[in-house]
Structure 1
Amino acid sequence: MDLRVETVTGKSKEKQKTKEIYTSSFLKEDRMPFWLMLIMAKMKNTEFISFHDKQTLCGFVYMATIKNLTFIMFLAVDENIRSKGYGSRILEKIQSLHTDNKIIISIERCVKDAKDIKQRLRRKKFYANNGYIETGYLVELANKKQEILIKNGQFDEDEFYLFFKKYSNGTMKPKLWRIGS
């Protein structure tokens, strides 16, 4: 079954429900303001899209693409329908929208003393089960060290920096380092 894709805008019928999924899926300190996501989604390189199974809003993704690199910043599935395959179907849909692209996502590190280690390990396993592999790199985003995973290619530091430089008009240069360094 194919998921229907809709662009999320300030006028979207499901805007409030999308916001609820967002706020329930990410800690406040990890979120950017929802209104800012709506504004930035108007940029040519940014996509804020929701996924629907018939009339059911399943989840959303907020991502950016520059050349052949797509970076997923936020992806969430409605907590009431998790573990039903929607997350995998959303990742498949993203891949079909950006067929030849490397797709990158950053996740919280799976450090043993993390309070939510089981959730972090489940998330990492979910991405691994969907073809994402470890890059051996960490990035600092939102003042948190996150592990970088990739699908469809090898991770390239220079390409990643160039992505952020172009996406942010030169205002962002996240810290990047190899795990174990």
Structure 2
Amino acid sequence: MELKAMPVTLTSCDKGRVKEIYMQAFAKEDRMPYWLMLIMAKMKNTDFLSFYDGNTLCGFVYMATSENLTFVMFFAVEEALRSKGYGGNILEKVLERYPKNKIVITIERCDENANNFQQRLKRKEFYLRNGYFETGYLVELGNQKQEIIIKNGAFDPKEFIRFFKKYSNGMIKPKVWSTDGFWGNA
């Protein structure tokens, strides 16, 4: 399969379908406004890409880059196409786009008491199979506590906090700590 990446913009013909995938894949409390994603995608350090297998929309990724760190904020595959290799292929396209960058993703913690524990575990296993590693760090963005995973380098919490300061002009101040204890915040 050879996926083709296309930017998602205000004028994209499939922007509505990408939005549907986004709304299905992420809980309301985990989403940012879709219109804001479309506007922020105009920034030079933000990529909002849809992926196609021929004419079939397979999924999307929304990510930002600062220096040598790329943070994948949102990534989803069309539900009917999951477990067919598209997710791994999209992650490879991200790495091809930024081959020298550390690729950071945050995921829900695998809390055994969570009502969707199996789904969380399956998601984490997917990333680990695709070359991502546990960092031993957690982040709190908004009120969501998530685990940080990485590919293509070692995680540096100071670098991650600098990324947010730069990307958000100081508006987003994540708390980052190791699973062994508190580390710091922005």
* TM-score with structure 1 setting the length: 0.98
* Partner Cα distance (2:105, 2:14) in 1: 25
* Partner Cα distance (1:64, 1:72) in 2: 7
* Partner Cα distance (2:117, 2:180) in 1: 19
SS in 1 for 2:48: strand
Structure 2 unmatched ranges of 5 or more: 182-186
Show the counterpart of 1:5: 5
**Deviation string, structure 1 residues 26-59 (Cα, Å, up to 9, x no partner):** 0111111100100111111111000000000000
Determine whether 1:81 maps to 2:70.
Answer: no
Q: Alpha-carbon deviation of 1:7?
A: 0.2
**Deviation string, structure 1 residues 103-161 (Cα, Å, up to 9, x no partner):** 00000000110000000000000000000000000000131110000001100011111
Structure 1 unmatched ranges of 5 or more: none
Show the counterpart of 2:29: 29
SS in 2 for 1:106: strand
The letter for the 2-side match of 1:148 is I
CA contact (8 A) 2:141 2:173 kept: no
Stretch of structure 1 that moved more, 125-134 or 167-176:
167-176
* Partner Cα distance (2:81, 2:65) in 1: 28
Determine whether 1:172 maps to 2:172.
Answer: yes
The letter for the 1-side match of 2:2 is D
- Percent pairwise identity: 63
The letter for the 1-side match of 2:177 is W
Show the counterpart of 2:114: 114
**Deviation string, structure 1 residues 73-114 (Cα, Å, up to 9, x no partner):** 000000011110000000000000001110000000001100
Show the counterpart of 1:52: 52
* Partner Cα distance (1:160, 1:29) in 2: 22
The letter for the 1-side match of 2:162 is L
Show the counterpart of 1:159: 159
The letter for the 1-side match of 2:109 is R
* Partner Cα distance (1:46, 1:114) in 2: 32
* Partner Cα distance (1:120, 1:80) in 2: 19
**Deviation string, structure 1 residues 7-36 (Cα, Å, up to 9, x no partner):** 000100111100000000001111111001
* Partner Cα distance (1:11, 1:61) in 2: 17
Corresponding residue pairs, total: 181
* Partner Cα distance (1:19, 1:4) in 2: 19
